[in-house]
Homo-oligomer: A and B are copies of this chain.
Amino acid sequence: MSKHESRDTMSKSKRLLELMLTVNRKRKFTVKELALEFGVSSRTILRDLQELGELGVPLYSEVGPHGGYQVLNERILPPIAFTEEEAVALFFACHALRHYSYIPFETEASSALGKFYHYMSGDVRDRIDQMKNRVDFVVPARQAESPYLSVLLEAAVMQQTVRIGYKSQDTLSERNIQPIGIYASSGLWYCPAYCFLRGGVRLFRCDRIESVKEGDPVTKPLDLRSIHLDNWEDSFSDKSPNTRCRVQLSEEGVRVCEAELGRRGLLRVREDGTGWIDGDIPNSEIPYFARLFIGLGSDAEVTEPPELIECMRSKLKELLAKYDGQDQPSSPRT
């Protein structure tokens, strides 16, 4: 049963196009195979393949048993109809990626970008040239080193465990984890993962991962296929002791908190743009929140918990002591 309409009465041009799609679907194939599928002789397929090669499809062949044709490395995308707006959007999406010094794809997107650009028709290209340095998506310039992104992503996709060396507050520890995924936020890469050391889901900062080895063969991977970036937080932070936290926020406060803890689902926003935080936070994060709300100044008003307020108070005192009654630093750095 042929998937293609009337493959027996197909014109050469159409056959070539279909052939292009077919050889890209199956990367490896023999002449006879295609001849049967298309209902033409092997000789014809051979001629067609040669023509495809001249047209730019990178074909490679090997003779002998288990030999055959292969599409080298690259795939040909069939002709795609893009509107001008779409092409432009696509271009700038890729363009934005150039800000990331570390991305989990081995090939740089810039080569794809170049091809795209090269094949676009004249006036779209002109438009892009004009817009090129008039619109941008900025991410923080210098980013912490994260050389293991592709390994972590691969492990997440393949449901495998890896053994990482992780530096948290000057403590270097080694543990088996099974990554759930990776994401970039404010210039840093994060990796939520099941941690076999702690027996639960934890969030790791990729720049603090100092080494990645193959997973311990003893620790069997779990089935975490149903846990991914959109829902991993449900399985997170249920273990450590929590405290209820409530904070009133001004419009500006809402904006900052969205940037900082958008993914945690603690934040509620009123219609007028102001909002509040109400939810449980792990005790271990109290210092982090204290710093956040101090930075917000009058745009945040913490009402709970007392521990957080106390922590803020002590930090404030410390800072005040540092800057009070002096215009020179108390302990200059080297």
- Residues on A close to B: CB < 8 A? 12-14, 16-17, 20-21, 24-25, 51, 55-58, 73-90, 92-94, 96-97, 100, 103-109, 111-112, 115-116, 119-122, 124, 127, 130-131, 133-138, 140-142, 144, 153, 156-157, 180-188, 228-230, 248, 255, 258-259, 262-263, 269, 274, 291-292, 294-298, 301-303, 306, 309, 312-313, 315-320, 322-324, 327-329, 332-333
Contact = CB atoms under 8 A, between A and B. Distances in A.
B104 A86 contact: no
5 closest Cβ contacts across the A-B interface? A295-B295, A85-B107, A86-B112, A134-B181, A133-B228
Given A77-B79, A85-B107, A187-B255, 8 more contacts: A13-B13, A75-B82, A75-B83, A75-B120, A78-B79, A83-B107, A85-B105, A303-B329
B51 A13 contact: yes
Contacts of A259: 140, 186-187
Copies in the complex: 2
Contact of A157 (B131, B182, B313, B327): B131
B313 A323 contact: yes
A81 B87 contact: no
Given A75-B84, A142-B258, A184 B107 contact: no
Instruction: Indicate the member of A153, A274, A297, A332 with the most B CB atoms within 10 Å.
Output: A297
A118 to B, nearest CB: 9
B323 A316 contact: yes
6 contacts: A77-B79, A80-B119, A83-B112, A104-B135, A131-B157, A134-B181
Nearest to A144: B255
A112 B124 CA distance: 15
A135 to B, nearest CB: 5
Nearest to A326: B309
A143 to B, nearest CB: 8
A235 to B, nearest CB: 14
Contacts of A318: 297-298
A295 B289 CA distance: 10
Contacts of A21: 121
B136 A109 contact: no
Given A115-B81, A133-B229, A24 B262 contact: no
Given A92-B105, A94-B89, A24 B121 contact: yes
Contacts of A262: 138, 140-142
Contacts of A76: 79-81
A324 B319 contact: no
A116 B80 contact: yes
A127 B105 CA distance: 12
Contacts of A130: 157
Contact of A82 (B14, B112, B127, B137): B112
A19 B228 CA distance: 46
A135 B106 contact: no
A296 B315 CA distance: 11
A77 B73 CA distance: 21
Given A112-B87, A303-B329, A75 B138 contact: no
